Homo-oligomer: A and B are copies of this chain.
């Protein structure tokens, strides 16, 4: 996952470096379409995707506005008794912050062993020179402590990540990601709005949406709909249309969800 886009050769070159080290790697593009330097969008993309990958997967994630500064390049192993392990190789800038709230870091290292990096690394493309080679070596079976020096998982950067809160019986949240279809993904997890019922009221930018649906099909084409999205969070959309365009909404837009019981008070 990167914010490099795919117009340039940056992603292709990272893959070339990986395959030079670990020729039989099975490569998957999670996405390279994270908006430039948008750590929060990257963190959300990672949070909602990682658990669909096979255990043992190495995630090489480069959204790195601080490349060449003091932020640390790191590798982390996350696992619980039931989940993982997964490996993440990335800058220490909070990109994996929300993920770590779900699956804790077992161990983490700062990437300070030049043996497993490209010689003469640049100051502007650590994706190619540090993160790709380390990811390739981990995928080949090396351990974290081969590629760097242990650091405390508690020292890893946090992310200024909006959390939903309950006030006067109303959940207050915000839009944290807008997808290709113009659907709005919020930070309100499904468990807070379960069961989805048609007597919830969701508001966004003055618009009142009645009910949390279980399918798009519960509303007519071009009508607004609130539903529990496939990523496990409350989503707002226009059926067969773009909510982003229809409502002129951007990331960080505030939204509310009022429980049926609260409406009755």
**Chain A interface (Cβ < 8 Å from any Cβ of B):** 1, 4-13, 15-17, 19-20, 23-24, 26-33, 36-37, 45, 48-49, 52-54, 57, 65-69, 122-125, 128-129, 179-181, 214-217, 227-230, 235, 240
Contact = CB atoms under 8 A, between A and B. Distances in A.
Given A124-B229, A181-B36, A217 B9 contact: no
A10 B33 CA distance: 12
Given A20-B53, A48-B9, A49-B13, A216 B31 contact: no
A217 B66 contact: yes
A181 to B, nearest CB: 6
Contact of A16 (B23, B52, B128): B52
Contacts of A129: 230
Quick one: copies of this chain in the complex?
Answer: 3
Contact of A17 (B20, B52, B68): B52
Overall SS of chain A's interface: loop
A7 B125 contact: no
A112 to B, nearest CB: 18
Given A69-B217, A124-B227, A128-B52, A8 B20 contact: no
Contacts of A228: 122
B16 A216 contact: no
B9 A68 contact: no
A20 B68 contact: no
Given A8-B180, A16-B28, A180-B7, A23 B230 contact: no
Contacts of A240: 37, 65
A215 B125 CA distance: 10
Given A124-B216, A216-B124, A7 B31 contact: yes
Nearest 3 A-B pairs (CB), nearest first?
A7-B33, A68-B215, A125-B230
